[in-house]
């Protein structure tokens, strides 16, 4: 039993503006759907970026951020320039002067990095080279088991997974974990793989270490769970046959 990533959801004060920013940075199209605005993947394998409205203020750093891959130094410089022109700002997170990646924040303050060319870890990835995450080794193993993606890095409490088909990696930096801010802006939306029993999949995720948080509400197919580190994610119960 496994789940599949449906989307990475951004909570935003202005979902449309955020979608346009990331569409410009990533070269994706903006698609308006019932209930929100999304950016379909620009290549396969990939995942949708979905933007949802929130009134909650942002407090502190996110648990997840993008590491954008650069094929050449010129591409890195062009990505940084494009992001700044679209409303990004430089961000100081304590990076060292000798580090070559550029740390930016999108117009609503979400952190992301434009990684230098020649980075070996991102060599076999997509445009979003990695979704880098704050988390324990247990969390990396949980998502490896939940998604059926193998561990491609497992050393010194740091882990990373990648779909067998390639594409974006997801990584966890290991302890010490940053304090929780209570206003996480990014979270995964997943669904049972085609042909799976959604209720059996809930039990499978709970068995792997997830916990129930909320739902589904009447008329909704969305259940909110928390991973072993306490980060919330959503499971769509009705997407069982693909």
Residues 124-152 have pLDDT tens digits of 999 999 999 999 999 999 999 999 999 99
pTM: 0.93
Equal CATH topology for 3-172 and 187-236: yes
Mean pLDDT for the chain overall: 93
Pair of tokens at residue 7: 């989307």
CB-based burial label for 228 (10 Å; 0-12, 13-18, 19+):
middle
Q: Which residue has the higher pLDDT, 51 or 97?
A: 51
Q: Which residue has the higher pLDDT, 241 or 184?
A: 184
- CATH architecture group of domain 187-236: Roll (3.10)
- CATH architecture group of domain 3-172: Roll (3.10)
Alpha-carbon distance values, 80 to 42, 76, 112, 132, 198 (Å): 19, 6, 11, 18, 42
Over the stretch 5-34, which tens digit does the pLDDT of each residue have? 999 999 999 999 999 999 999 999 999 987
Map out the domains of the chain as residue ranges.
3-172, 187-236
CB atoms near residue 116 (< 10 Å): 16
């Amino acid at each position: 039993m496994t789940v599949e990533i449906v989307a990475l959801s951004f909570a935003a004060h202005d979902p449309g503006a955020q979608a346009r920013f990331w569409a410009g940075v990533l070269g994706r199209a903006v698609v308006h759907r019932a209930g929100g605005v999304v950016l379909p993947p620009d290549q396969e394998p990939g995942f949708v970026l979905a933007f949802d409205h929130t009134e909650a203020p942002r407090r502190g750093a996110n648990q997840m951020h993008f590491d954008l891959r650069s094929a050449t130094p010129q591409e890195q410089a062009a990505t940084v320039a494009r992001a700044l022109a679209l409303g990004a700002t430089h961000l100081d997170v304590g990076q060292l002067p000798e580090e070559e990646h550029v740390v930016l924040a999108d117009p609503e303050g979400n952190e992301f990095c434009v990684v230098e060319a020649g980075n070996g870890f991102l060599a076999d990835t997509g445009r979003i080279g990695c979704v880098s995450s704050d988390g324990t080794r247990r969390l990396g193993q949980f998502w490896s088991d939940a998604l059926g993606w193998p561990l491609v890095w497992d050393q010194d409490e740091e882990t990373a997974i990648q779909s067998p088909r390639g594409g974006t990696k997801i990584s966890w930096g290991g302890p010490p974990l940053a304090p929780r801010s209570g206003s996480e802006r990014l979270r995964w939306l997943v669904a049972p793989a085609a042909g799976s029993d959604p209720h059996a999949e809930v039990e499978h995720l709970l068995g792997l270490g997830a916990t129930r948080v909320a739902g589904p509400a009447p008329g909704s197919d969305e259940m909110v769970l928390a991973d072993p580190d306490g980060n919330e994610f959503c499971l769509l119960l009705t997407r069982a046959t693909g």
